[in-house]
Chain A
Amino acid sequence: MKLPTLITPELQRRHSALARIITVVGGLAIIASAYLPWAFGPGALDNMTYLGGPSTVQLLGAALGVPVALGASMAWIEPWLDSRDGLAKRIAAVSKRIAWLRGAKAAATGALVFIAVVVLAIALELGGLVNVEWGGWIALLAALAAFAGTRLMVPGRAPRLHEVKPTGWLEILGIAAMLGIGLLGFAYALNQNDGGTFVAVVVCLTALVIVAMRSGIGGWLSLAGQRNRNVLVFSAFAVAFLFPFTQNGSDANMSIATQVLVFSATAVGLNFVVGLAGLLDLGYIAFLGAGAFTAATMSMSVYATIGWKPPFIVIMLIAGTVSALLGLLIGTPTLRVSGDYLAIVTLAFGEIFRISMSNLDGTDGPDLVHGASGIPGIPNLDFFGFNFGQVHTLFGIPLGRFSNYFFLMLLIMAFIVLVFSRLNYSRIGRGWIAIREDEKAAEAMGVNTFGLKLLAFASGAFLAGFAGAVKAHVDSSATPEQYIFLESAFLLAAVVLGGMGTVMGVIVGATLLKLMPEKLRFLADYRMLLFGLLMVLMMRFRPEGMVPNTRRQLEFHEEDAELAQEVDDELPYEFVEERAR
């Protein structure tokens, strides 16, 4: 679909100077409007009724106004900086590589969407648009002006920041800043119990990411991340490790965070099957369930059926093995069929698992898991006297039950990520790619296609079993109803939405999918509708997911010669290069 072009290059040339002034004024007005009252009642979002006292959401709006004003005025500032000596000149040299105008354009769009969302949220939460005070309208007008202004300007240069020579400390600083903002944003979003505020925060963060990408700063950051991969991974884990310390002993958020972590660990396990081997598995939740039930039966709960409790690490290994065996059992006969057939078989397997568990209740089968009521009352883990159910104080900060499980899951996550990336960059990983690309050719070149597919299936199942063993203890119960098809669908959605074949993407996808239902309770009835819409939009516009694996991106865009050339010129780390490492 092509929209008629209202704004011609000719029009842009003629009005560029005026448009620049409009944009700068609009951007400044967006910043200023943070200090105006937006709503008549304090009940809407965070309290934004004060004149001169901006609330956090209003400040987020101002944060979007800054790149608008700065980006547009850079055309005046840059020559001035360039004419000076010393530091100013050096700043100008860097500035010339940043696509300021493109950033401003994205920021203006983001600000418009953000302010519109906030105004709508005010109207929804207070009952009508009359509750929006004049400050809100001014902000909206300012954003509209900035939006129009950026559209009228001559499109700016393309970013060339990624061509800058690598500078170690600056890159690490950039990574640290990025992760810091990520942590703050996540912690802040998690603390919002107001649906409108949560949406506003998500919109603002998304807009900031897009601004960074468009201006070239994002490209530089992602390149820096690739060059310092180990630093990035370690600091990401460090940041996650620090997260419970920001919660002041509150377990409410930690409960969600732990659930998110369990969910993402499972999703990364599924990514072995879907992202690496390219197989469609619609019953993956069964492996998580198998792990959970295995751990539950050996947990020494009053309802546990096996009166043997080895150390937890052994339980995890047993749970993983049980899941892997189930994976082999289902995989051996079915991995010979391909594509859609496999999806149907795995879908059925997920249901068979759930129904079997419901029937292991003593009447229809052996009383192993007490049927539909499952195994409740699973006691907390206890590592050498460290009880997971108790509050422990570290550095004066109390860490509750969920924090303890969070740390444990973080360890497991680190293990899963390690296995994932090491398998991916090995002979086996190459075999998986070859199978995805052309299974017949891979076979003709001597790749053990069946064995590799089975390996992906079994190792994914094993890791899900691992996560399941912890999940049983986190939930302190295991019932068949926790492991329904919908959960499999959500897991698959997390992988597809986030990005097949990447760890980062899947974690982002899983986090979004777990956080949204928690925070958007007012949308509960439309949750599935919105979810479906989101999936359709993703498939249409970005089938490779939010944080794609470059190779998967190439696979999804077979016709896109430009993209292939781009990847070729600047080979990402996923690819093996000719020069020796």
Chain B
Amino acid sequence: MTAVQPPIDAGQSTAVHTVGKQVMLAARAVTMRFGGLVAVDSVDLTVHAGEIMGLIGPNGAGKTTFFNCLTGMYKPTGGQVEFLGRVLPPKPREVVKAGMARTFQNIRLFPNMTALENVMVGRYCRTSAGALTSILRGPKFRREEEETRTRAVELLEYVGMKGQGSHLARNLPYGDQRRLEIARALATDPKLLLLDEPTAGMNPQETRQAEELIFKIRDSGLAIVVIEHDMRFIFNLCDRVLCLVRGRVLIEGTATEVQSDPRVIEAYIGSPESEEEAGNA
């Protein structure tokens, strides 16, 4: 384990909150450089079982990049990601197999597949029928295919899309596309779900539905990390919140703690002094 700078303010309060819970994800000093730019600068993140962790920060703070590092889409230039006590290699497939699934900020469904097929693709990593079994249509193939389909139908119902399975993903309304992405991620049987702005572009009613869905998923025993800009959403939902600014951890704590921290407000809307300066100039 590398030496870790303790994140600012990540002290007593959170320790009390999470005592006795199993640590699921432990990211240590994760750093991502693109040439001279340090997009993520030794960020630490610990997620416990059954917890909803919020990730906030102004645009360009490195939230999505951090997600990409966690899920193996990027190979981090420094640090390591430990999941359930095992250090994950930076390969998306291994990460999914280990039990971490994600959604995307800009929806990335398979547009010309039906909703059901999209979810079925999510089952890929939990099934193993190879080319030969598929050609011979052996009993294993048929069993797996049946299981895949049943599970996919269940998941569609779970996210509230019952009976929508035979529509092309590209024809679905926006809110349903977001939900379908969650269903597809759930199809991989994750233990930890990473949601990248799950309510972006949603109206208040859809946001409320998404909130309920996320609670429902949490109650089924999954841990969740969620990137959001909608502060009300974050504070309704999250047990703990981590705020990133310019690739660094600004503060970590309970929702109320982070909400009332002047530095967070400053990061988002600028400090009163700089405003005054701007006004005087």
Contact = CB atoms under 8 A, between A and B. Distances in A.
- Real complex partners, A and B? yes
Interface of A: 418-419, 422-423, 426-431, 433-434, 437-438, 440-448, 455, 459, 551, 554-555, 558, 561, 564-565, 567-568, 571, 575-580
Nearest to A421: B135
B215 interface: no
Interface stretch (B3-11, B110-118, B235-243): B110-118
A445 B122 contact: yes
A571 B166 contact: yes
A418 B149 CA distance: 23
Given A430-B117, A564-B170, A445 B149 contact: no
Interface stretch (B78-86, B94-102, B266-274): B94-102
Contacts of A580: 149
B129 interface: yes
Overall SS of chain B's interface? helix
A485 B152 CA distance: 45
B111 A437 contact: yes
A565 B171 contact: yes
B112 A551 contact: yes
22 contacts: A427-B123, A428-B131, A430-B124, A441-B109, A442-B121, A443-B92, A444-B102, A445-B125, A446-B93, A446-B96, A446-B101, A446-B124, A551-B113, A554-B111, A564-B171, A568-B171, A571-B114, A571-B166, A576-B117, A578-B114, A578-B116, A578-B165
B17 interface: no
B96 A418 contact: no
B52 interface: no
A418 B134 CA distance: 11
B31 interface: no
Given A438-B108, A575-B114, A576-B117, A446 B170 contact: no
Interface stretch (B58-66, B137-145, B245-253): B137-145
**Interface majority SS on A: helix, strand, loop or mixed?**
helix
A441 B167 CA distance: 20
B167 A568 contact: yes
Contact of A426 (B96, B109, B111, B129): B129
Contact of B116 (A422, A561, A564, A577): A577
Given A441-B108, A447-B121, A459-B131, A434 B96 contact: no
A561 B111 CA distance: 12
A578 B121 contact: no
Nearest to A459: B131
A532 B102 CA distance: 46
Contacts, number: 135
Interface of B: 71, 73, 92-93, 96-97, 101-102, 104, 108-114, 116-117, 120-125, 127, 129-131, 134-135, 137, 141, 144-145, 148-149, 153, 156, 163, 165-168, 170-171, 184-185, 188
A446 B112 contact: no
Contacts of B184: 445
Contacts of B163: 578
B92 A427 contact: no
A571 to B, nearest CB: 6
A446 B125 contact: yes
Given A427-B127, A437-B111, A422 B137 contact: yes
A438 B170 CA distance: 13
Contacts of B145: 426-427
B146 to A, nearest CB: 8
Nearest to B108: A441
B124 A431 contact: yes
Contacts of B148: 427
Contacts of A576: 114, 116-117, 120, 149
A551 B108 CA distance: 17
B188 A446 contact: yes
Contacts of B92: 443-444, 446
A539 B136 CA distance: 37
Contact of B131 (A437, A448, A455, A564): A455
Contacts of B156: 578
A438 B124 contact: no
Contacts of B123: 427
A434 B28 CA distance: 33
Contacts of A445: 96, 101, 121-122, 124-125, 184-185, 188
